[in-house]
Amino acid sequence: MSSTTLTRDDVTVVAPALCGARALLLAPVSGASWRAFGLAVIGWVWLWFVGITLFTLVFVGVATLPLAGFGLLLLTGTLWTAHWFAVVEAARLTAQTGVDVVAAPRRRIARRGFWRTVLGPLADGHAWAALGYVLLGLVVSTVAAGLLVGLSAAAVAGLGAPWFLEQRDVPVHSFADFMSNVGPVRTALVALLLVWVVPVLAQAFALLQAALGRGLLAQSETAAARAAQRAAEKAQRHAEAAQQDAEARAVRMVHRAEHLAQTRSDAVEAAADDRRRIERDLHDGAQQRLVALGMELGVARRRAATDPDTAVVALEHAHAEVKETLAELRDLVRGIHPAVLTDRGLDAALSALAARSPVPVTVCVADSDTLAACGPAAQAAAYFVVAEALTNTAKHAHASAVTVDVGCTAVDSTAVDNSTADDSTAVDDSSGAAGSRLRVVVTDDGIGGADTAAGTGLDGLRARVAALDGTFDLVSPPDGGTRLTVEVPCVS
């Protein structure tokens, strides 16, 4: 980090003559003295050039400020230039004094934008400080260069005076008068003194110049601290944002995992329920009928010869049993998976359901082509939702009309109710943008008041739909009408 003041070591480098008797004695032949001399002379020319340029720009800029912002642009450019001057000047000071001077970095503009770009440099304190340095450095280097060059000349003149006066008739009266008044020996002594005074003075000026450079060109400690703090704050903000992001993600993941665990166990339970139902249906239905059938046939065979009338009655019973058994098996198989759904598609299967319903049903299928693209699980879910809804309507709703609406919808999170929003975002996470959803709406004009208490058919449906990552929404106010809306991903 750059320092804004000169340390004891820095002083030893720039102005050793001020630090010890030996260095003072050796000042005329010290490299520091010559560097200091060069610093003053070059600085004098360079700073005048820069000073005139920059301050002309500043004055013109200020004068033209009213001219529709032209002056503002000029000032901005000037300050921008001042920054780069500071960089060059810091490098010159480093090279010519032997101590490091590091120019302040340019003020960072946090965000891009026209006005920020234009006005940013104007708020750069270091650029204004560089302008101040030009002004002060101009004065210091002018005084230094004048004094050093003058005194050097005086020293050369004083030392050469005796020889000079002998060699020529000197037309310089004032000097001759001076010499004659003081005397060549004293003059030589004064000149000899100057041989030490000039280097020491040069070193002193160099020290002053270096101190000015450090003070005005380098980044102040408070500014550096502020910059560091800003950087740290920014890093912390980034870290906090990243952490919040990670936490939010973790929370979403946990919710997702819980949702999946729940729907998974629901699905397993639903499957087990299905198997129990099928077993019960088979046990109570077909199996008993077949036992009875076997018995009737046994009776018929036993009595065929001796008591043909009883045998005929038994055969008639047996025949009826076979037909009943076939009908029951057909119903049961349809309940496991309807063949018409596989063979003819959802549209035909829903029509078949509607035809069997005792309540008049209107089926609206939006586009059978897009429906055909839906996966078999989604189609089966839609079929059983409608089947269960129609059964419930016929049993409980006392409805006079039912409408079944089926269609595919693109994923649109805003169209989903608040109550199901969690589910739908979870779905987005898993299936990405690829999944459109199969939407089934069953509406009736019955007495309403349906609920999805545990153990009802609707509860089983809800589990089945949840297992597919779908949403299930039942609106059935006690004052009438029931509307069941189910959405499942077309491909799960």
Contacting residues toward another protein, per CB under 8 A? 280, 283-284, 287-289, 291-299, 301-302, 310, 317, 321
What DSSP string describes 392-444?
HIIIII--S-EEEEEEEE---GGGS-GGGHHHHHHHHHHHGGG--EEEEEEEE
Query: Which residue number, 189 or 295, has a Cβ lying nearer to another protein?
Result: 295
Query: Which residue number, 124 or 321, has a Cβ lying nearer to another protein?
Result: 321
Q: Which residues pair with 488 in a beta bridge?
A: 438
Give least dist CB 289 to another protein, A.
6
**Residue 226: how many CB atoms within 10 A of its CB?**
12
Query: Which residue number, 307 or 445, has a Cβ lying nearer to another protein?
Result: 307
Rounded Cα distance between 15 and 31, Å, is: 10
Q: Which residue has the tokens 């300050």?
A: 79
Give least dist CB 389 to another protein, A.
28
Give least dist CB 281 to another protein, A.
12
Give least dist CB 311 to another protein, A.
11
Phi, psi torsion values for 7, nearest 5 degrees: -90, 175
Which of these, 209, 228, 233, 229, lies nearest to 1 by C-alpha position?
228
Query: Which residue number, 269 or 279, has a Cβ lying nearer to another protein?
Result: 279
Phi, psi torsion values for 63, nearest 5 degrees: -65, -35
Which residues 6+ apart lie within 8 Å of 15 measured at CB? 32, 36, 200, 203, 204, 206, 207
Sequence letter at residue 244: Q
Query: Which residue number, 232 or 291, has a Cβ lying nearer to another protein?
Result: 291
Instruction: Give 277-281 contacts, CB < 8 A, sequence gap 24+.
Output: 277/335, 278/332, 278/335, 278/336, 281/328, 281/332, 281/335
Query: Which residue number, 291 or 364, has a Cβ lying nearer to another protein?
Result: 291
Give least dist CB 312 to another protein, A.
14
Query: Which residue number, 88 or 327, has a Cβ lying nearer to another protein?
Result: 327
CA–CA distance from 91 to each of 104, 253, 492 (Å)?
Answer: 12, 56, 68
Give least dist CB 394 to another protein, A.
25
Q: Token pair for residue 188?
A: 């030589």
Q: Token pair for residue 31?
A: 């490299």
Give least dist CB 463 to another protein, A.
22
Give least dist CB 299 to another protein, A.
6
Phi, psi torsion values for 403, nearest 5 degrees: -120, 130
Query: Which residue number, 262 or 287, has a Cβ lying nearer to another protein?
Result: 287
Q: Token pair for residue 277?
A: 């139902």
Interior angle at CA 278, CA 274 and CA 282, nearest 5: 170
